[in-house]
Amino acid sequence: MSTTSEDSKSQPPAARGAGALLLGLPGVLAATLLTQGIGAWAVLALAAIAPTVAEAFDLPPVLVGYQITIIYFVATGTSLIAGGLVSRWGPCRISQVSLLCCALGCAIVVLPALPAIAVASIAIGFSYGLTNPSAAHILARYTTTRNRSFVFSIKQTGVPIGGIAAGLLTPWIAVNWGWQPAVAVIVPVALLLAVTLSPARETWDCDRRGDAPIGLGALRGAGRVFAQPALRWLCFCGFCFGAIQLCLMTFVVSLAVTELAFGAVLAGSLLATVQVFGVAGRLSWGLVADRLQRNALVLAIVGLITAACCLGFSQLNGDSPRWLAFAIAAVFGASAVGWNGVFLSEVVRLTPPSMVGTSTGVATFCTFSGVLVGPAIFVQLYGWIDSYAATYALLIAPALIGGAAGLLTLRYSRRSAKVGA
């Protein structure tokens, strides 16, 4: 599998018709960012109002949190076949399908029955598994090696933006109008964007192939991705970093409250600091990667900084200055939450245009796999150690391993380039 070597290959066909507004890079980037943001909002909406939803069904709030696991489990499986779907029907149509499934899931959630939440989570998970492959496929055509990392990093800010919408807007609506309207409000937003994308389909989907394999046939494409050493190591890097990212997001508040003597509001501010600097990190690392033209090297640096932050968290206790906890959280967020855009950009760089959707789907599968297993392993380790701070120290290993995988990606990508030359 050769790398994309000429920027001219990434240029889209000429814009025509009513969809012209969506056919420049700003329009494409806005559309993919909004799709990502709406998907992330749907994923996190119920978690943001878990106590209220749990009370409505007379359940402990922790049980409502299991719907996140269902979502990511389905999204992980979907991402493996998403590349085939994008190749057959095109990134515009699959983005629309993603938005329609998102709307369907949020509509089902409001039904007054507990099984509806499980069914809705499946629909939302299917939707979320489609977002990265479809976005990467179209953005690869509108970017060059000079700006790709930064553009992908901007697109990936849709995830924290969706998280902010879930954390601020969803609870506010739930308090004033009830939890069902707080989730249902996502439905018209997703449907409106799906309709807005329609005029762009003629151009966005110009390279779709009616004979592209889907379902089990698409798994052969996944095998081709794993057969390439550079992409294989890159996917392993994504697995490690995905696990650390979710561990940071999931347990930082518990660390702050139980071991650092933070109040609930201050602990929430610590999590917000991680989120905000995660956005800043995504943009900053994208700029650095475009300047260096060494995405895998940037990922290795991110792994080293993340390992240092894991060590820093492990040294915090109730007597530590609060400013120190916030300082470490800021750097931690910038590294452990800020790597995604550079990662996806490197996937595109290492992949020929016809395989971008498939490679991105496989990379997303590996990242989501880390998301699924990371927090579960963290919980088990915490059960043995009985300290959040000490458990964060154990994350140094996957951080360094992920960084080493980045270096191996760099090594094998250079070797492939020499062979291709």
Q: What is the overall mean pLDDT for the chain?
A: 85
Q: Does residue 62 have a pLDDT over 70?
A: no
70-84, 197-211, 285-299, 392-406: range with lowest mean pLDDT? 197-211
How does residue 266 score in pLDDT terms, banded at 50, 70 and 90?
Answer: confident
How does residue 94 score in pLDDT terms, banded at 50, 70 and 90?
Answer: very high
Q: Does residue 314 have a pLDDT over 90?
A: yes
Please give the Cα distance from 308 to 304 (Å, whole number): 6
Q: Does residue 13 have a pLDDT over 60?
A: no
Which residues touch 405 (CB under 8 Å, ≥6 apart)?
A: 233, 234, 236, 237, 240, 299, 303
The b/e string for 54-84 (b: 16+ C-beta within 10 A; e otherwise) is beeeeeeeeebeebbebbbbbbbebbbbbbb
Helix/strand/coil (H/E/C) assignment for every residue in 383-408: HHHCCHHHHHHCCHHHHHHHHHHHHH
Q: Does residue 311 have a pLDDT over 80?
A: yes
Q: Averaged over 154-183, what is the pLDDT?
A: 87
Q: Averaged over 59-87, what is the pLDDT?
A: 80
Please give the Cα distance from 200 to 188 (Å, whole number): 20
Please give the Cα distance from 131 to 361 (Å, whole number): 9
Q: Averaged over 326-352, what is the pLDDT?
A: 92
Give me the pLDDT at residue 253, please: 83
Give me the pLDDT at residue 415, please: 62
Give me the pLDDT at residue 346, please: 93
pTM of the model: 0.81
Give me the pLDDT at residue 214, please: 66
- 3-class SS at 111? coil
Q: Averaged over 295-306, what is the pLDDT?
A: 96
Q: Averaged over 63-76, what is the pLDDT?
A: 81
Domains, the chain, ordered by start? 18-205 (1.20.1250.20), 215-421 (1.20.1250.20)
Q: Does residue 421 have a pLDDT over 50?
A: no
Q: Averaged over 64-92, what is the pLDDT?
A: 84
Give me the pLDDT at residue 3, please: 44
Q: Averaged over 329-334, what is the pLDDT?
A: 94
Give me the pLDDT at residue 209, please: 76
Instruction: Report residue 23 as tokens.
Output: 């056919």
Q: Averaged over 359-370, what is the pLDDT?
A: 89
Q: Does residue 375 have a pLDDT over 70?
A: yes
Give me the pLDDT at residue 155, please: 92
Q: Does residue 216 have a pLDDT over 60?
A: no
More confident residue, 214 or 188: 188
DSSP state, residue 414: H
Q: Averaged over 79-107, what is the pLDDT?
A: 91
18-32, 56-70, 178-192, 205-219: range with lowest mean pLDDT? 205-219
Assess contact for 171 and 48: CB atoms under 8 A.
yes
Give me the pLDDT at residue 75, please: 92
